[in-house]
Structure 1
Amino acid sequence: MKKLISMLTASAAVLELLLAVVLLTADYFTPNSYTVTNGSHLEWLSGAITVVGDSDVTASAGVPYPKTYQGTMMLYNVIPIKTVDVSIVDQTCVVPCGTPFGIKMFTDGVVIVGLADIQTSDGSVNPAAQAGLKIGDVITEVDGKKVDANSEVAKDVENCEGKSIRFSIRRNGTLSTVVLKPVRSETDGLYKAGLWVRDSTAGIGTLTFYDPSTKSFAGLGHGICDSDTGELMPLLSGDIVPVTINGVTKGLKGKPGELRGYFTDSNAMGRLAANVTTGVYGYLESVPEGSALKVAMKQDVKTGKVKILTTIDGGTPKYYDAEIERIDYRDQVQSKNLVLHITDSGLVTQTGGIVQGMSGSPIIQNGKLIGAVTHVFVNDPTRGYGVFAENMLVEAKAVESAANSKAS
């Protein structure tokens, strides 16, 4: 009897441990906040995990928009996992594009992309480093005067007559001031600060969707980062312009490919309003043709077959086969939510899979927009990351809200 009791006790301990592991795993890999549309319910794994709330996860007529509340995530409707925030919204429909576009972007301030020693009569020195400036800092003012161009910073430094200059900088979202004393270069006799700076960028990406009611758009699926610092470039202003794709450099293992194209018109097709982690956002001057689709919420996205809409030649988007192999639902993962595998033999033959310039290509599943292509795996161009369409839609709505507030 004692042996039986001991076995039962041990079994109960093992089961308790397994349950704890299951609950911890479910807690870690599921979001703490959700958005659902009217009439939708939150559940996964054929009902093994559900979320229950104040009465139901269904909005009713006359409820203030959006309705929000806290619900409880349950395992088999019995064991509570954690408390989550739920927002109920109206279904949003957007037009998926897959259209290539060119980006012309100017920075808000001037980004420091490099530091360099200056050869002087007293030896080699770097005033910028001595002042505490770092790569990635954004110079916003010189001696109290706002600057947005490389030439402005260079002119202020060259005209300093050897006097110290006060730089206002933004670092990791925090503003501060540093004092820098330029030195005279032996090379050309000009005063220099030992800085390499950048005030603009240009490139090619893919338009993900636009809202037909507001003409607001989302593209790229990831932010525009400086090629030297890897940091998001602070947006001052920018345009998107039409592009014609005229070639492809095929992606190979260890060597990402790219779409080759040219700007076909200097007239802007849209204006940039935001450059953030999940992409670029703004408003279109003219809209491409297309049919609107519902935007899927992240919990509705499943592993399995999908279509991507992209343009690899000329200017006409086409659908190609792919599949989602893995999904990361966690809130802190903003732009690498999906692992995407290109299975379309025609696309693989032409491009090798995912190439630079395809970022932003819409991903369609079960007749809904679920996401956009963002990155390619360097060692396997047939695979890459995707971002949830919901994450892009949230940012697009925030841009719209900010624009409306500014207008009023």
Structure 2
Amino acid sequence: MKKSNRINIKIISLIIFLLVLLFPNYIYSIQKNNNLPSELIVGGELLQLNIKSDKLIIKVQEDRKLKIKNQDLVEKIEGNVLKRILNKTSITDITRKDILNIRLNMNDDDEIKITVLRNGEKQTFKLNKEDLNPSYFIEEVPFSASLTYINPIDKSFGAVGHNIEFTQNSNIILESGNIFLCNSKQIKQSNGNEVGNMYGEKIYGSQGTINKINDFGVKGKIIGEKITNKQIYKLGKKEKVKQGIAQLLIQEEIGKVKKAYEIKITKVNKQNKPSIHGFEFEVIDKKFIENYGGIVQGMSGCPIIQDGKIIGALSHVICKDPRCGIGVYIQWMMEE
């Protein structure tokens, strides 16, 4: 009998080894699922994300005739004026405070040489006092999106529902920063030709710190107390998502009840590995179309509810028809 038990243990161990070897993603997914909470505080609040950069960033209007361009990263500043001010011929690791100091001490006929990183290449230009306007230089990148969830156990949060990318410099941001609530929304409606947007004024202090940015959005930890509308929903499994009616949640006014707009899930993608293209949907709520024209920029991250459970978040709008969008499964947002 003892010999039989030893044989059974060996067989079970062999089976487990083969499962891990043949289906590592599946086993890994099971482990992750076991660590997920059963309930979440749902979001829908419009956020301003201030994402840090390790270099000073240029932010100028595209129509201005300047040598420096939007999203340039400042690598170095040099010139005789620096010798007079700082007793140096050049500086790197430049802050906005340095720009203010240099400009304040420049004469009207002084020039500096500035080296920027643009599309992966370094370029150097001469700037006069007028061109070295401190308002053109920022240390954080502002980005508008929506909160998806807060984990009630550890106060971790997820937002946005997709990666944050910049066309000219892919390495413009770090995986750190702060999130702020916004109020007084300004809305440019979507139409058949273009996707609209919404944004608001930043209010209160930081409500959370960012510690991760990837293809599934932004993660971090809630530190403030101003997110007061804490509706709790059960966590919906991706395997249970189905075609049919669901709701898109939006916090239209801070402190008020979240608005649930009706959508229709038209396609469900069965997935064994993480992807942001979880399911497709169409907004069928007439009031939503009246208010927004269609999905607008800034709604990314808004939670999606089906059968009383949070199943995912708005990830992308389909540009040729802004009434239609793509959702990412909540499990992938939380696991990755």
| Deviation of the 1:341 alpha carbon | 0.8
For 1:97, give the aligned amino acid: G
Which of 166, 173, 179 is the equivalent residue of 1:240? Answer: 179
CA contact (8 A) 1:242 1:269 kept: yes
1:256 aligned partner: 195
For 1:241, give the aligned amino acid: F
| Deviation of the 1:313 alpha carbon | 4.8
Cα distance change, pair 236–222 in 1 and its aligned pair in 2 (3 A): closer
1:46 aligned partner: none
CA contact (8 A) 1:112 1:198 kept: yes
2:9 aligned partner: none
| Deviation of the 1:216 alpha carbon | 0.9
CA contact (8 A) 1:150 1:198 kept: no
For 1:96, give the aligned amino acid: V
2:267 aligned partner: 326
Q: Which has the higher contact order (CA 8 A, sep 6+)?
A: 2
Matches within 5 A, 1:57-76: 69=20
CA contact (8 A) 2:269 2:279 kept: yes
Q: Work out whether 1:348 is the aligned partner of 2:289.
A: yes
| Deviation of the 1:221 alpha carbon | 1.0
CA distance in structure 2 between the partners assigned to 1:289 and 1:232 by the alignment:
35
Cα distance change, pair 364–69 in 1 and its aligned pair in 2 (3 A): farther
Q: Secondary structure of 1:212's partner? A: coil
CA distance in structure 2 between the partners assigned to 1:104 and 1:366 by the alignment:
34
CA contact (8 A) 1:245 1:312 kept: no
Q: Secondary structure of 1:86's partner? A: helix
Using the size of structure 2 for normalisation, the TM-score is: 0.67
CA contact (8 A) 1:253 1:380 kept: yes
Which of 209, 213, 217 is the equivalent residue of 2:149? Answer: 209
1:298 aligned partner: 238
| Deviation of the 1:330 alpha carbon | 5.2
Q: Secondary structure of 2:212's partner? A: strand
CA distance in structure 1 between the partners assigned to 2:137 and 2:178 by the alignment:
21
Q: Work out whether 1:98 is the aligned partner of 2:13.
A: no
Matches within 5 A, 1:9-408: 54=15, 69=20, 85-87=26-28, 88-89=30-31, 90=34, 91-92=36-37, 93-110=39-56, 145-147=92-94, 182=124, 184=126, 188=128, 199-226=139-166, 228-229=167-168, 231=170, 233-235=172-174, 237-265=176-204, 267-284=205-222, 285-286=224-225, 287-313=227-253, 315-316=255-256, 317-329=258-270, 334-395=275-336
Which structure features the higher share of strand residues?
1
> Which ranges in structure 1 are unaligned for 5 or more consecutive residues?
1-52, 56-67, 73-82, 117-125, 129-133, 173-177, 396-408
For 1:306, give the aligned amino acid: A
CA offsets per residue over residues 292-324 of structure 1, 9 Å max, x none? Answer: 333334333323221111123555321111122
Q: Secondary structure of 1:391's partner? A: helix
CA distance in structure 2 between the partners assigned to 1:376 and 1:279 by the alignment:
15
Using the size of structure 1 for normalisation, the TM-score is: 0.57
- Aligned Cα RMSD in Å? 4.3
Larger radius of gyration: 1
Q: Secondary structure of 1:393's partner? A: helix
CA offsets per residue over residues 338-358 of structure 1, 9 Å max, x none? Answer: 222111122122212211221
Cα distance change, pair 94–141 in 1 and its aligned pair in 2 (3 A): farther
Comparing 358-367 with 314-323, greater Cα deviation is found at 314-323
| Deviation of the 1:272 alpha carbon | 1.8
| Deviation of the 1:383 alpha carbon | 0.6
| Deviation of the 1:147 alpha carbon | 4.5
Cα distance change, pair 70–243 in 1 and its aligned pair in 2 (3 A): same
For 1:279, give the aligned amino acid: G
For 1:220, give the aligned amino acid: V
Comparing 350-359 with 284-293, greater Cα deviation is found at 284-293
CA distance in structure 1 between the partners assigned to 2:269 and 2:75 by the alignment:
37
For 1:385, give the aligned amino acid: I
CA distance in structure 2 between the partners assigned to 1:145 and 1:359 by the alignment:
36
CA distance in structure 2 between the partners assigned to 1:150 and 1:112 by the alignment:
14
Q: Secondary structure of 2:289's partner? A: helix
Aligned pairs, how many?
A: 290
For 1:294, give the aligned amino acid: K
CA contact (8 A) 2:317 2:326 kept: yes
> Which ranges in structure 2 are unaligned for 5 or more consecutive residues?
1-13, 78-89
